[in-house]
Every structure is written in structure tokens, then in C-alpha cells.
Structure 1
């Protein structure tokens, strides 16, 4: 009877290991890159101006970045932020950004110092991260928000 219990315990341990390996964590930027690439997204790991990790990617012809925050000495980060900025010849009215923010719960927008629109979305990957599936769901959600925002600001039809 003990051998059956030992075999069952061994099988449970074996099944739990792949689940842990499938976690996406800001402490391991490569885990985000691998998850995105496995789903067909371009994802290139680099660093930002402060030396923190940064991923460059894109969707539907729009480039975006994933910045890492709450890092300790450019490692062991806790959160990420999806970000995309736009360069308009004419300044976008602040009312257009305020309208977006008042009607949309996800995807915070603002005007940068040149009055160009920026869209951001934060994702908390602290305390063990999240499953690969949930992270990819967030990436897909971000791409939907990105498209909706671009239509809202007149960047795409």
C-alpha cells in the first residue's frame, strides 16, 4: 500500500513541475519573451535607458514596448507596463484623451510633452507571477485595446 502512495506522490510532483515552469514572472524577463514568441508575437529582449529589462514587440503594424518596474539593480522586477506612443503632426486635443479615459477601464492614455498620445497598461507579475495562459490573455487584451485606441485617436480607420 505504501508503494502505491509513493507512486501517486511522485506522479503529483511530476505534474506540478511543468505547471511551475509555465509561470511568467517579471523576475525572469525571458519567460515573457518565450511565452509571446510561442504564440507568434515578435518579442525582443533589451534594456531601457535605466538598464532595466524591456521587451520590444508589435501587433497589427504598431510597435509597443513592455517596460519592467520595481526592479532591484536592474533585476528582480515585480511589474510590467505595456506602452505605445504615437507621433502626430498636429497636437491631439486633450478632450480626446479624456474621452478615452472616461469610457475605457483598461488602457490609460495621456499626452506626452509634445502633446502626442501615449497608451499604457500595467500588469502585476509579483509574488510568483501568473500562468502563461493568463499572461497571453493580457497580451491579447492589450492588442485589442491598442486597436480601439488607434481608432479613437484617428490613427487607423
Structure 2
């Protein structure tokens, strides 16, 4: 909840300051989730800053119509601040469960995609991004674009059997 409050405060500040006086955010860090959210909103994404099950920040959004979760890692265990890395994650809901061998084909074909199966056999892909004290905003936004491309390629693999059955 503290992150939603921070985001609300940033939004109020950004609305009250003249546009010319606002400095663009040129680097992002997992340690500044509210700024990361502003960068994504300015790039046209719909975002919600929330918390995961242990109180770390989490961003809820979507890419190419698929749900996107951005998890924050390396956060202080006491106050959930000072995070050092991000994980982009999305899942695919199949009619039939996948085997581990089938899921492995995603990693074999797509360079950056880390794959896991949930308890129902649905594949999830993720990318980790270490931000440390900061990476250029343009690099982060390019990573989001590349992850969106990977989501589309993954969807083609994941749903190929179901699409073939429709024909």
C-alpha cells in the first residue's frame, strides 16, 4: 500500500508542476518502483503499482493483450525497499497441460525466455533484469518491447497444437 501512496503523490506532483519544469526520467532502478511506474505510464502502458505476497513492490500491466507482472527482487527484508532487480513474467493458459519437455522447446528457441510450468502444466516465461543503481530508461523500454515480441513468439509455440486442432 505504501507504494500506491507514493505513486499517488508522484501523480499529484506531476500534475501540479509545469510541463517545462519536469525533468525526464533518464534511468530507472528497481529501488524506485514509483518512478518505474511513471516511465511505463509515459510510454503508454496501463500500470498498477501493488505489492506481492511478502510486501515487495509489484507492477501489474499487460503486453500485447497478455497479463504482465513485474516482480521486484533483492529488496530489504525489513521494509521492502532498496530492490536491485526486476523480473518480467507472463503465463499462458492452455487447455491441455504441457510436459517439461514441451516447455523446454521455448527455451531452446527463444534466447532470453526462462520457462517454468505451474501446477496445472501451464507455461510461464520470465526475464530478469538487474538494475542496481540504475539503467537507462531507453534500455528498460527496449527490454519491454523485446519481451512483448517474445510473448508473441511464445504464444505461437504454446498454442500451435490448439490452433492446429481448430483447422
CA distance, structure 1, for counterparts of residue 101 and residue 159 of structure 2: 14
* Deviation digits for residues 102-148 of structure 1 (CA, Å, limit 9, x no counterpart): 2221011121222111110101111x211111110111111111111
Contact kept in structure 2, 1:43 and 1:56, CA below 8 Å: yes
Say whether residues 1:113 and 2:119 are aligned partners.
yes
Specify every segment of 5 or more residues in structure 2 that has no aligned partner in the other structure, as ranges. Answer: 1-22
In terms of Rg, which structure is larger? 1
8 Å Cα contact 1:23-1:31 kept in structure 2: no
The structure 1 segments of at least 4 consecutive aligned residues displaced by more than 4 Å after TM superposition are: none
In structure 2, C-alpha distance between the alignment counterparts of 1:30 and 1:41, rounded to whole Å: 14
Partner Cα separation in structure 1 for residue 35 and residue 115 of structure 2: 27
Look up the SS of the partner of 1:51 in the other structure: coil
| Cα distance in 1, alignment partners of residues 98 and 70 from structure 2 | 24
The Cα offsets for residues 76-124 of structure 1, whole Å up to 9 and x where unpaired, read as 1000000112222311232221111122210111212221111101011
Partners of 2:50 and 2:105 lie apart in 1 by 34
SS in 2 for 1:135: helix
Give the TM-score of the pair, scaled to structure 2: 0.77
Q: Secondary structure at the match of 1:149?
A: helix
- 1:48 aligned residue (48, 52, 75): 52
RMSD of aligned residue pairs (Cα, Å): 1.7
For 2:109 and 2:156, the matched residues in 1 are separated by: 14
Q: Does 1:99 align with 2:97?
A: no
Segment drifting more, 142-151 vs 99-108: 99-108
User: Which one of the candidate residues 24, 35, 47 is aligned to 2:39?
Assistant: 35
Q: TM-score, normalised by structure 1?
A: 0.81
Aligned residues: 138
Question: Is the counterpart of residue 145 in structure 1 residue 140 in structure 2?
Answer: no
Alignment partners' CA distance in 2, 1:134 and 1:90: 36
Segments of 5+ residues of structure 1 without an aligned counterpart are: 1-17
Matched, 1:130 2:144: no
Give the 3-state SS of the residue equivalent to 2:120 in structure 1.
coil
